[in-house]
């Protein structure tokens, strides 16, 4: 029970605390020592209390609150009876779902809730479904989402937000709303490495904001490193990407749509000379095995998010992503690799052009090796930079080709550091 001599704004915090804990009674017109002093304007006080509760507390807690006049020691006081609410945590509308807006009862005191207590209340009332539980952030905007829906000629008003699950039944934004909002707290990080190891960074980027923005930004970024190699079949030019664009797209969308967003770490994209790795948090959903995945069996962890991506034509029929990636590599010697742990999912796409540049055959020369040898024959020597510029290979590929030729004693290496040069060995 809470005793108040007269109405004050702190009453809202007490109502929230009771609704978030085990309920309780507030008596207005009673001193701290329990002596009734009465309320002069009973009707005005009742109206003030009910308006404050209705306008300042979210979600709507009015169905769990009864405010009425009663007699105590011959005085008229106002009694506010609060039950434990069913949509906890309740919070001050102007503060949001954070400690300064959420209150609980500890003994006879009203205190701010800890973040862990807030998350516990959300889990208790919302279940384990991350998408449908209320977002801890409620000050959300949807500029990027509105643009994406507008480009597809799909309405994105309040009614649609409720239908999609962006806004819950209590009128608050769900975690799905957070993921699609401009304030999304999750990101996609991409890094480009020199060679095939994580020793030297060449470039890095981080995509933030709405997941719809992140998908576009990340795809554009990795596209910059998807080189095109040209071959000729007679007079016909054939362009071949390092990575099939459809495979890149499906791998990225798979990482975004199926990750476990209850974890805070970012999706990681690592770009090497010989491969691209996509790592997202969350293993396979319960009941799904690796073989099921390869057959196209799909159990959606984030069904509402997938539904939004489907409506926006970003993904096709559910379960087609992995088979489509494998189809992109049909007939290739190197195949995509999927690695799964209890809490992570990793998709590795091999560089389809790499095996054309560097041969694994012990006796034959790859195209790149042949071109380097043709350039060196008849010359005294050439530096790696000169060879790289003339042949048109990347720095790491040039180094790898020269090392392979030196190892096979077709090319000799002279000098050190910047003075290093290479020469064809005359047999």
Q: 74, exposed or middle or buried, with CB in 10 Å at 0-12, 13-18, 19+?
A: exposed
Phi-psi region of 195 (alpha: psi -120 to 50; beta: other; left: phi over 0): left
Backbone angles phi, psi at 394, to 5 degrees: -70, 165
User: What's the average model confidence in pLDDT over 6-13?
Assistant: 92
The reported pLDDT for the residue numbered 398 is 87
User: What's the average model confidence in pLDDT over 253-273?
Assistant: 90
Is 257 within 8 Å of 309 (Cβ atoms)?
yes
Backbone angles phi, psi at 402, to 5 degrees: -65, -40
CA dist 420 and 402 (Å) reads: 12
> Who has greater pLDDT, 58 or 286?
58
Confidence of residue 19 (pLDDT cuts 50, 70, 90): very high
User: What's the average model confidence in pLDDT over 235-243?
Assistant: 73
Bridge partners for 112 per DSSP:
103
Lowest-confidence segment of 116-120, 230-234, 410-414 by average pLDDT = 230-234
The reported pLDDT for the residue numbered 287 is 56
User: What's the average model confidence in pLDDT over 366-386?
Assistant: 84
> Who has greater pLDDT, 290 or 176?
176
Confidence of residue 123 (pLDDT cuts 50, 70, 90): confident
For 368, the token pair is 């790149």
The reported pLDDT for the residue numbered 136 is 75
- Give all strands of the β-sheet with 65-72 in edge-to-edge order: 2-4, 24-28, 75-82, 65-72
For 51, the token pair is 């308006």
Is 321 within 8 Å of 249 (Cβ atoms)?
no
Q: 308, exposed or middle or buried, with CB in 10 Å at 0-12, 13-18, 19+?
A: buried
Confidence of residue 323 (pLDDT cuts 50, 70, 90): confident
How many CB atoms sit inside 10 A of residue 203's CB? 12
> Who has greater pLDDT, 332 or 238?
332
Average pLDDT of the residues of the chain:
86
CA dist 307 and 413 (Å) reads: 58
pLDDT tens digits along 206-225: 999 999 999 999 999 999 99
The reported pLDDT for the residue numbered 298 is 61
The reported pLDDT for the residue numbered 288 is 62
pLDDT at 18 over 60: yes
User: What's the average model confidence in pLDDT over 167-175?
Assistant: 86
Is 246 within 8 Å of 169 (Cβ atoms)?
no
72 CB-near residues (< 8 Å, 6+ apart): 27, 29, 30, 36
pLDDT at 360 over 50: no
The reported pLDDT for the residue numbered 362 is 47
Scanning the structure block, which residue is given the tokens 């006080």?
A: 45
Confidence of residue 426 (pLDDT cuts 50, 70, 90): low
pLDDT at 27 over 70: yes
How large is the C-alpha radius of gyration of the chain? 32
> Who has greater pLDDT, 285 or 361?
285
3-state SS, residue 238: strand
CA dist 284 and 362 (Å) reads: 40
pLDDT at 282 over 90: no
C-alpha to C-alpha distances, 229 to 77, 222, 240, 333, 392, nearest whole angstrom: 84, 16, 5, 17, 11
For 218, the token pair is 């990340």
The sign of the dihedral angle between the CA atoms of 289, 293, 295, 301 is positive
pLDDT at 192 over 70: yes
Confidence of residue 356 (pLDDT cuts 50, 70, 90): low
The reported pLDDT for the residue numbered 122 is 78
46 CB-near residues (< 8 Å, 6+ apart): 67, 68, 69, 78
How many CB atoms sit inside 10 A of residue 205's CB? 16
> Who has greater pLDDT, 81 or 263?
81
The reported pLDDT for the residue numbered 359 is 47
Is 219 within 8 Å of 248 (Cβ atoms)?
yes
Bridge partners for 69 per DSSP:
78
Confidence of residue 358 (pLDDT cuts 50, 70, 90): very low
Cα within 13 Å of Cα(229), Cβ side: 19
Confidence of residue 364 (pLDDT cuts 50, 70, 90): low
User: What's the average model confidence in pLDDT over 101-115?
Assistant: 92
User: What's the average model confidence in pLDDT over 361-370?
Assistant: 67
Name the percent of the chain lying above pLDDT 90. Answer: 50
> Who has greater pLDDT, 127 or 261?
261
């Amino acid at each position: 029970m809470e005793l108040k001599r007269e109405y004050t704004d702190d009453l809202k915090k007490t109502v929230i605390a009771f609704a978030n804990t085990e309920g309780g009674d507030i008596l207005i017109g009673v001193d701290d020592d329990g002596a009734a002093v009465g309320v002069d304007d009973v009707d005005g006080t009742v109206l003030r209390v009910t308006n404050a509760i209705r306008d300042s507390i979210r979600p709507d807690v009015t169905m769990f609150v009864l405010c009425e006049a009663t007699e105590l020691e011959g005085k008229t006081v106002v009694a506010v009876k609060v039950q434990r609410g069913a949509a906890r945590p309740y919070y001050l509308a102007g503060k949001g779902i954070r400690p300064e807006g959420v209150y609980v009862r500890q003994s006879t005191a009203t205190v701010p809730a800890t973040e862990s207590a807030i998350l516990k209340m959300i889990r208790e009332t919302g279940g384990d479904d991350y998408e449908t539980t209320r977002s801890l952030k409620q000050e959300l905007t949807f500029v990027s989402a509105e643009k994406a829906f507008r480009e597809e000629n799909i309405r994105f008003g309040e009614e649609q937000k409720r239908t999609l699950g962006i806004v819950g039944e209590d009128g608050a934004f769900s975690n799905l709303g957070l993921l699609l909002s401009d304030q999304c707290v999750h990101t996609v990080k991409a890094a480009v490495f020199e060679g095939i190891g994580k020793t030297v960074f060449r470039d890095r980027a981080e995509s933030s904001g709405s997941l719809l923005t992140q998908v576009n930004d990340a795809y554009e970024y990795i596209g910059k490193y998807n080189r095109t190699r040209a071959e000729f079949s007679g007079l016909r030019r054939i362009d071949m990407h390092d990575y099939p664009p459809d495979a890149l797209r499906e791998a990225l969308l798979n990482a975004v749509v199926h990750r476990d967003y209850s974890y805070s770490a970012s999706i990681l994209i690592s770009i090497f000379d010989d491969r691209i790795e996509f790592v997202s948090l969350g293993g396979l959903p319960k009941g799904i095995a690796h073989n099921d995945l390869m057959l196209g069996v799909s159990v959606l962890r984030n069904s509402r998010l997938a539904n939004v991506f489907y409506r926006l034509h970003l993904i096709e029929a559910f379960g087609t992503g992995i088979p489509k990636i494998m189809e992109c590599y049909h007939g290739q010697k190197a195949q995509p690799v999927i690695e799964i742990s209890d809490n992570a999912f990793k998709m590795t796409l091999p560089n389809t052009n790499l095996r054309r540049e560097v041969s694994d055959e012990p006796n034959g020369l790859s195209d790149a090796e042949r071109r380097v040898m043709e350039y060196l024959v008849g010359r005294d020597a050439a530096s790696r930079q000169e060879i790289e510029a003339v042949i048109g290979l990347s720095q790491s590929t040039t180094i790898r080709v020269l090392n392979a030729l030196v190892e096979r004693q077709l090319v000799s290496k002279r000098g050190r550091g910047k003075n290093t040069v290479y020469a064809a060995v005359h047999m």
